């Protein structure tokens, strides 16, 4: 260094004559290009860093934007909102594949829930129909039971009337036998023949009137018994209708159980209702069969009573 500032000094010895050649140059003049190079390198470094930061932010946005959209759509799905638009696919990498898979999952989930809702409505409608059929079957069973009880009461009354008619016929028969004996006695006793004949004719007229009255009662009883037979046949038709309703109810309960099984967990309650309705339909059908058997027995007894009355009428 000298009074002019920092200097760079260089020298070289000349081999020809041994002299030393020296040169003094200012330090700033020598290192000015290096300083400029440092400044340029610093500027390039800062610019490159800013470019790298901008690219990192851009790539981070390309990655995080679809992920944020996926999170928002997932939150909406968790709250039951299925009316969402598909997320726009911005790349073909793993993030793009994830977006496509999420859109497909949302669409399938919406279809599944819609199908389950439709199935639940169908099961509810089937359950209401089954309940109505079960109530109708129960009402028909009660009506049939009342009708059978009424028929049974009428049959007991008719049997009592028939027994009374039989006693009357036996009494008439005894009167006829008595009349015959008296007629024989009158024929033997010729002296009292005329009087005995008159007495016999009077008894005969009384007997014929009694027989005619008895015949009318028997015919009326036969008509009542026939009418009871027709009522029994109508009750049999009602029982057949109840059996048909029970079979249809059983079939509907089976269809409801199948629809409930398709509905999965949500259809379990409907499956229980369908099973109870099926049991009720089965019990109704069994009761109808028992009533049908009893009606058949009543019809057979009625037919025999009618035949017996007709035969008694012909004999009289």
Specify the 3-state DSSP secondary structure of 154.
helix
Rounded to two decimals, what is the model's pTM? 0.35
Q: Could you tell me the mean pLDDT of each successive run of 10 residues in the chain, 316 residues long?
A: 67 80 73 79 90 82 71 73 68 73 77 79 79 74 68 66 61 58 59 60 66 63 66 69 72 71 67 71 76 77 72 61
Query: What is d(CA 291, CA 301) in angstroms, rounded to the nearest whole number?
Result: 15
- What helix, strand, coil percent values describe the chain, rounded to 5? 85, 5, 10
pLDDT of residue 267: 62
pLDDT score of 114: 77
DSSP 17: T
- Residue 215: which residues within 8 A CB-CB, separation 6 or more? 313, 316
pLDDT the model gives residue 167: 64
> How far is 1 from 9, CA to CA, in rounded Å?
10
DSSP string across 80-96: T----PPPPP--SSHHH
Q: Which fold has domain 108-315?
A: Helix Hairpins (1.10.287)
Give strand pairing partners of 21: 12
Domain residue extents for the chain = 7-75, 108-315
């Amino acid at each position: 260094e000298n009074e002019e500032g920092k200097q760079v000094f260089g020298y070289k010895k000349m081999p020809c004559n041994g002299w030393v050649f020296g040169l003094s140059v200012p330090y700033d003049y020598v290192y000015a290009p290096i300083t400029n190079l440092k400044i340029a390198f610093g500027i390039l470094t800062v610019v490159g860093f800013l470019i790298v930061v901008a690219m990192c932010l851009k790539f981070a946005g390309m990655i995080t934007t679809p992920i944020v959209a996926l999170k928002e759509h997932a939150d909406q799905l968790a709250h039951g909102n299925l009316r969402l638009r598909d997320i726009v696919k911005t790349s073909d990498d793993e993030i793009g594949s994830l977006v496509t898979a999420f859109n497909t999952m949302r669409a399938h989930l919406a279809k599944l829930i819609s199908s389950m809702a439709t199935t639940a409505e169908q099961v509810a409608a089937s359950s209401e129909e089954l309940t109505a059929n079960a109530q109708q079957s129960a009402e028909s069973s009660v009506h049939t039971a009342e009708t059978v009880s009424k028929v049974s009461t009428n049959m007991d009354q008719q049997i009592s009337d028939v027994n009374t008619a039989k006693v009357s016929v036996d009494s008439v028969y005894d009167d006829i036998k008595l009349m015959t004996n008296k007629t024989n006695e009158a024929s033997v006793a010729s002296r009292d023949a005329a009087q005995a004949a008159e007495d016999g004719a009077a008894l005969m007229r009384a007997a014929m009137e009694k027989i005619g009255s008895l015949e009318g009662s028997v015919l009326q009883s036969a008509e009542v018994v026939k009418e009871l037979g027709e009522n029994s046949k109508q009750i049999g038709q009602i029982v057949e209708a109840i059996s048909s309703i029970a079979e249809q109810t059983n079939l509907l309960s089976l269809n409801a159980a199948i629809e409930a099984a398709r509905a999965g967990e949500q259809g379990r309650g409907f499956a229980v209702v369908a099973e109870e309705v099926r049991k009720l339909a089965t019990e109704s059908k069994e009761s109808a069969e028992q009533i049908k058997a009893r009606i058949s027995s009543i019809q057979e007894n009625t037919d025999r009573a009618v035949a017996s009355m007709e035969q008694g009428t012909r004999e009289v």
